[in-house]
Amino acid sequence: MKPKYDPLFEPFTFASGVKIDNRLIMAPMTTNSSFENGMVTTDEKKYYKRRVAGLGAVVTSCAQVMENGRFAGSLSAASDNRIDSLSKLATTIQDEGPKAILQIFHVGRLGSRRTLRGEQPVSASAVALDVAGAEVPRALSDAEVHELVDAFGQATRRAIQAGFDGIELHGANNYMIQQFFSPHSNRREDHWGGSLEKRMNFPLAVVQAAKKAIQTYAEKPFIFGYRISPEEIKEPGITIDDTLQLVAKLKEQGLDYIHVSTNEWSQGSVRNPAEATPIVQRIQEFVGKDFPIIGVGSIITPDDALETMKLGIPIVAIGRELIVEPDWIQKVKLGNETAIRKKIKPEYRKDLMLPDAMWEYIESRPGWFPIVH
């Protein structure tokens, strides 16, 4: 391995005490490949086994905390009879070396009657996503919000009992936690909305529920992370100032990290193009060096990962590139980084171990992956 890449492979210890072998983790990516009941499939286990060796940690695709929070092919952490299934996924990852982190979520207004067995999607308010064909969700009652908060705590307990090394709350990508934080999707005038402070109440309640579960059930150090989308381009939408205030509150809760979801690791503000400073760098500088931010987004080469770390970001998440190149880590370690694949060709499919539903999902979104026919 070239010495310049040594920083990528330095160990890191989280505030919880969990140590990972290096600074490279697998970003959570939707496989769309779980059984309809949310149990993990053999294809999913093969997909992870093929590409996770040598990473510091793996954040799984998201698992719903309630059955009305699912999408087609998502994992389930919504009931105790899914613990054994989740355990098989944790073991598959851990047997290859990395720590296994279960991402938990609720789909909220991104759900549909088709995938919810005819049930209307729910959200903070009855406001549809601003895309063609989006369904208008039903606003949750106060009692239902409390049930949902508790469901995140229960899902955290199940992750612990399934043998995972941590959880990541999915507060990004327009899912339910973000829907409560966003002024676009949250038009409430009660405890859960109306001002920025009240829009933070749900995310912080979920953090408290998960934290309590960890304190109650974890018998060894357990990673506790939170993923955010730092801005929304829509109006009204989340601003970077909103996010910095949330991040300040999250830091007080004793999280291990915040994972900043962006399309490009070097991305500046999407709301203010004149602000070119990478948004992950702004957040890291705001919270200080003692609180780790995970950077992600179009990290293709080890030089991309290195440049991300040079921004002051201690941990780097690789997403799509690990789908394209399952042997990324090994090629870097062998000094063979020039052989890293950057495109998918049809003849690679068998080697890539991509589940059929995942491949169909990738193909249905032209430009998302570099596919060469």
pLDDT 10s digits, 300-330: 999 999 999 999 999 999 999 999 999 999 9
Point out which residues pair with 64 in neighbouring strands.
76, 105
Question: d(Cα 153, Cα 158) in Å, to the nearest integer?
Answer: 9
Question: d(Cα 325, Cα 342) in Å, to the nearest integer?
Answer: 7
Residues 3-363: name the CATH superfamily: Aldolase class I (3.20.20.70)
Confidence band of 367 (pLDDT split at 50, 70, 90): confident
Residue 346: the pLDDT is 81
**What is the average pLDDT score of the chain?**
96
Residue 349: the pLDDT is 86
Pair 293, 313: CB distance under 8 Å: yes
Q: How far is CA 324 from CA 6, 356, 372, in A?
A: 23, 15, 12
SS3 of residue 279 by DSSP: helix
Q: How far is CA 96 from CA 67, 162, 229, 328, 367, in A?
A: 30, 17, 30, 15, 31
Q: What is the mean pLDDT of residues 146-175?
A: 98
Reported pTM: 0.98
**DSSP secondary structure string, 36-81?**
TTSPPPHHHHHHHHHH-TT-SEEEPSPEESSGGG--TT-EE-SSGG
Confidence band of 368 (pLDDT split at 50, 70, 90): confident
SS3 of residue 92 by DSSP: helix
DSSP 8: G
For residue range 335-348, what is the model confidence (pLDDT) as tens digits?
999 999 999 988 88
Q: Is the dihedral of CA 115, 209, 52, 27 positive or negative?
A: positive
Residue 284: the pLDDT is 98
